[in-house]
Amino acid sequence: MTSPPGRSIAVVIGASGGIGGAIAAALEAQGRFAQVIRLGRSSEPPLDITAEPSIAAAAAQIRAIGHDLRLVFDASGFLHDHRFTPEKSWSQIDPAHMQQSFAVNAIGPALLMKHFLPLLAGDGTSVFATLSAKVGSIGDNQLGGWYAYRASKAALNQIVRTAAVELGRRRPHAICVALHPGTVATGLTAPFAKAGLDVQTPEVAAAQLLALVHRLTPADSGGFLDRFGEPIPW
């Protein structure tokens, strides 16, 4: 992900969250990019992943900067809140819960791709990475439960795969991937981080994810990878 000095941009979406904030801080510390732009609901401009006009406006502002967009890292995601928690049984399936999960975990990232993929630099390598989750794997599902989260992340994986096909035709050196960060100590995972799990700090997770991002090649585009670069079953 190289550009002329002073011209490369990285954008982190969901930068107020645990992983997103750590990703943005690590990118700033690395100094690979002339600008690291943090976007979220409280940023300027604000970006609400469930509101397409705000996504379009943020993308327009990035375009207006006129520099090379080399990295878009989407760290948004929804697992639970004060209304909804992961389902243990089909008896707990709730349409409002499903709608919220798909709005944040699938539709929102799809809209990010719609507005940000066309902005990726056309020469050299550029990357759009979005956080998925291993529980979104259909082939790896041995435990059941978590209907809304699993299904929305599986949908995200298909969206990434589909967008990567089109991106490959338009920008052959660009990469679109879904990444599983492992279990990270954030508010999203805190209620479900059981004893014995390999739980990473956001800073460790960010370092691992960025090390992977920097070694991705176009052959990886459309992939669903863990933080070490190993493919996860669809």
pTM of the model: 0.93
| pLDDT given at position 171 | 95
How far apart, in whole angstroms, are the C-alpha atoms of residue 228 and residue 40? 27
Judged against a pLDDT cut of 90, whether residue 177 lies above it is answered with yes
For residue 167, is it within any domain? yes
Domain count, the chain: 1
Q: Tell me which residue range forms the domain holding 19.
A: 8-226
> If you average pLDDT over every residue of the chain, what do you get?
93
Tens digits of per-residue pLDDT, 69-94? 999 999 999 999 999 999 999 999 99
For residue 1, is it within any domain? no
Query: pLDDT tier at 199 (50, 70, 90 boundaries)?
Result: confident
Q: What CATH number corresponds to the domain at position 130?
A: 3.40.50.720
For residue 51, is it within any domain? yes
When pLDDT is averaged across residues 174-196 and rounded to a whole number, the result is: 77
| pLDDT given at position 190 | 56
Question: Which one is predicted more confidently, 126 or 192?
Answer: 126
For residue 234, is it within any domain? no
